[in-house]
């Protein structure tokens, strides 16, 4: 556990210091070593957002959102926020569908999703 925690802390420190490529390398390496660790997917996706690498962020957030057995799974809300930020053709429709799923399935971020749906 110490090695994982050390790597996680190192990746976060690199991210906070603006060393995005190095941070992403650490988080991606951690995902490869432990594909069920939800934190590493979340951080790999988050770091990918900084250089506007939306497709890579969506890859990690989608993977996270489809990970079973998490007590609280923020994958769908991160996926939705990434689509909103990317704003490609079709993203608005997909965003609305994800927001509806979050409300209907009582998922993480349900309250925010309900507010956003009222604004759309």
Q: What residue ranges do the domains of the chain occupy?
A: 2-119
- Sequence-separated (6 or more) residues with CB below 8 Å from residue 37: 4, 30, 31
CB 47 within 8 A of CB 24: yes
CA distance to 2, 33, 79, 107, per residue, from 74 (Å): 25, 21, 9, 8
CB 84 within 8 A of CB 98: no
CATH level 2 (architecture), domain 2-119 = Alpha Horseshoe (1.25)
User: Which residue stretches of the chain have pLDDT < 50?
Assistant: 1
The predicted pLDDT at position 108 comes to 85
pTM, two decimals, is: 0.85
Give the other-Cβ count within 10 Å of 74's Cβ: 18
């Amino acid at each position: 556990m110490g090695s994982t925690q050390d790597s996680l802390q190192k990746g976060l420190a690199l991210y906070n210091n603006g060393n995005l490529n190095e941070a992403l390398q650490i988080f991606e390496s951690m995902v490869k070593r432990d594909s069920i660790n939800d934190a590493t997917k979340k951080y790999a996706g988050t770091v990918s957002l900084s250089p506007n690498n939306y497709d890579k962020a969506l890859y990690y957030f989608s993977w996270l959102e489809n990970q079973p057995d998490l007590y609280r799974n923020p994958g769908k809300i991160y996926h939705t926020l990434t689509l909103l930020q990317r704003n490609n053709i079709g993203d608005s429709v997909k965003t609305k569908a994800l927001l509806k799923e979050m409300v209907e399935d009582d998922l993480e971020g349900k309250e925010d999703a309900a507010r956003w749906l009222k604004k759309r």
